[in-house]
Amino acid sequence: GAVVSQHPSRVICKSGTSVKIECRSLDFQATTMFWYRQFPKQSLMLMATSNEGSKATYEQGVEKDKFLINHASLTLSTLTVTSAHPEDSSFYICSALLRLNSPLHFGNGTRLTVT
Amino acid sequence: GENVEQHPSTLSVQEGDSAVIKCTYSDSASNYFPWYKQELGKRPQLIIDIRSNVGEKKDQRIAVTLNKTAKHFSLHITETQPEDSAVYFCAATTQGGSEKLVFGKGTKLTVNP
């Protein structure tokens, strides 16, 4: 079945630094990828929709200059958390769409801790 | 935009009993309703889904029902087992459109042996 790989699985960084998270579709080309954030004991909240070759579409309340998304190829999307703060500590999960009307496939997630 | 409400937030059952989780959605254009199971620290796993042209779908011990008129859908787990313990999320989206999944807040299911 379709596999989505997300890296790193865990990252600890100091406040003020930037962190890049990669999301790859391993055996299919994903025209669309989605980035979600999940705080402890809460639901998945959509941050942005990433389309290959175009700018990401951010959800209301998500700072596009803080959460930089790049979808340079049909198999790779990256999320960069810039100038990270402790409140950015969360579980970030990407998902990829194989084709329209197909189920989403999720990556394993990245646990970000900002100290 | 779409809004998905999920109840209950926590559910505790005895092994062998049934568990029912209910969700409502607001956007009448939504046409795809997946259910995900998420264990602690892991990715959500799709367990069953239903499209708006179907009223019910079953896969072994798991079933989902959809009432388009009332805009609600439910997850039914029969003969629950301890390994069913997890957080379950319902979601809704308009496939063929934005494909964006909007999730409910989740239900923590505990199956007591």
Burial class (CB in 10 A: 0-12, 13-18, 19+), A115: exposed
Residue B105 contacts A where some CB pair is shorter than 8 Å: yes
Give Cα A11 distance to the centre of its chain: 14
Over residues B57-66, the mean pLDDT reads 97
Of the two residues A28 and B48, the one the predictor is more confident about is B48
Q: What is the pLDDT of residues A13-70, one digit of tens each?
A: 999 999 999 999 988 888 789 999 999 989 999 999 988 888 899 999 999 999 999 9
> What integer is the mean pLDDT of B77-97?
91
Q: Which residues contact B70 (CB under 8 A, 6 or more apart)?
A: B24
> Which tokens is B48 given?
């069953």
Cα–Cα nearest to A15, from A65, A78, A89: A89
Nearest by Cα to B22 from B6, B46, B3, B4 = B6
Best B45, B59, B93, B100 member to test A by mutation, with max A CBs in 10 Å, is B100
Question: Would you tell me how many other CB atoms lie within 10 Å of the CB of residue B42?
Answer: 14
Query: Residue B22: is it exposed, middle or buried by C-beta count within 10 angstroms (0-12/13-18/19+)?
Result: middle
Q: Is A13 on the interface with B (CB under 8 A)?
A: no
The token duo for A49 is 């929709």
pLDDT-above-70 percentage for chain B: 96
Task: Say yes or no for a CB contact (<8 Å) between A103 and B42.
Answer: no
Which residues of chain A lie closer than 8 angstroms to B32, CB-CB?
Answer: 101
Q: Is B81 on the interface with A (CB under 8 A)?
A: no
Do A100 and B99 count as a contact with CB atoms less than 8 A apart? yes
How many residues does the structure list for chain B? 113
Provide the 8-state DSSP code for A61. Answer: T
CA distance A112 to A7: 11
By the CB < 8 Å criterion, does B106 face chain A?
Answer: yes
